[in-house]
Amino acid sequence: MNKSVEIQDLGYKDYKQTWDYQEQLFKGILDIKIKNRREKTNVITSNYFLFVEHPHVYTLGKSGDMSNLLLNEEQLTQKGATFYKINRGGDITYHGPGQIVGYPILDLDNFFTDIHKYLRFLEEVIILTLAEYGLKAGRSLGETGVWIDVGTPFARKICAMGVRASRWVTMHGFALNVNANLGYFDNIIPCGIRGKAVTSLNVELGKNKIDEAEVKQKLLKHFEVLFEAELKMESNKI
């Protein structure tokens, strides 16, 4: 089992370019696993964790409903946003500046083979990170992601999640609102859930801007502990 995880911060990068890169890493791991099984070899598989910030983009999961996008093509252009149907679970979500997006591309055979546990661990990484900022976040029953004031009429989502997995290899991940422009969420029914608000870390703390590099370090700290991972930082990245 290889618990080493290569951390890459891609900076500000187009969604489609990043998706293609994820697919490349994902396929590389799958190819090794398939070869190992067919040829009865034991080549070690790699693990990656990508950080990225996207230009304004809306993405719809494979089980999503197009009616949850409230803009037509012309209006998308006016908003400076793009739209993609993608191969993760979940419904529609937004990515944009001021949001920390994390894409763990892991071979869960190196950690544990349980997708439910994987999602709960990702949520816990976010929950523990937000706790360091004095926020009590939690899970909402039946709704993947991380919320503030769960169980009250004021519940608001601060982190969306959606993953894809094949042969225990994961891709896609989470989107944590840190300094996000929440106005862009008005153009969708976030995750297909009506009547619930979306929030951002800077709004919750009443600050103009939160240090995103600091948030990333906290996320990695909790990821390392929960997954019992050995993090390898790209020298020219974070």
- pLDDT of residue 143 exceeding 90: no
- Is 179 inside any structural domain? yes
Among 148, 163, 191, 220, which one carries the catalytic annotation? 191
Q: Are 35 and 75 in contact (CB under 8 A)?
A: no
- Is 224 inside any structural domain? yes
Q: According to the model, what pLDDT value does residue 238 have?
A: 39
Residue among 86, 79, 100, 97 at smallest CA distance from 188: 79
C-alpha to C-alpha distance for 87 and 85, rounded to whole angstroms: 7
Of 236 and 30, the structure prediction assigns the larger pLDDT to 30
Q: According to the model, what pLDDT value does residue 112 have?
A: 97
Q: According to the model, what pLDDT value does residue 86 have?
A: 86
The verdict on whether 159 is a catalytic residue reads no
- pLDDT of residue 144 exceeding 90: no
C-alpha to C-alpha distance for 215 and 44, rounded to whole angstroms: 31
State the chain's maximal CA–CA distance in angstroms.
57
Q: Are 113 and 168 in contact (CB under 8 A)?
A: yes
CA 226-227-231 angle, to 5 degrees, is 110
- Is 164 inside any structural domain? yes
Tally of CB atoms within 10 A around 112: 14
The helix/strand count (H/E) of the chain reads as 5, 12
What range does the domain containing 123 cover? 4-233
C-alpha to C-alpha distance for 158 and 211, rounded to whole angstroms: 16
- Is 205 inside any structural domain? yes
Q: According to the model, what pLDDT value does residue 149 have?
A: 94
pTM of the model: 0.93
- Is 109 inside any structural domain? yes
Min mean pLDDT across 39-43, 82-86, 221-225, 231-235 is at 231-235
- Is 238 inside any structural domain? no
Q: How far apart are the first and last CA of the chain?
A: 26
Q: Tokens for 51, please give them.
A: 């950080």
Min mean pLDDT across 88-92, 114-118, 145-149, 162-166 is at 88-92
Percent of the residues in the chain that have a pLDDT greater than 90, as a whole number? 74
For the segment 47-99, what is each residue's pLDDT rounded down to a tens digit?
999 999 999 999 988 878 888 888 888 998 899 999 988 888 778 889 999 99
- Is 229 inside any structural domain? yes
Q: How many residues are given for the chain?
A: 238
For the segment 173-198, what is each residue's pLDDT rounded down to a tens digit?
999 999 999 999 888 876 555 567 89
C-alpha to C-alpha distance for 85 and 57, rounded to whole angstroms: 11
Across the chain, mean pLDDT equals 92
164 — phi, psi (to 5°)?
-125, 145
Residue among 71, 27, 74 at smallest CA distance from 46: 27
Number of domains in the chain: 1
**CATH code of 146's domain:** 3.30.930.10
- Is 206 inside any structural domain? yes
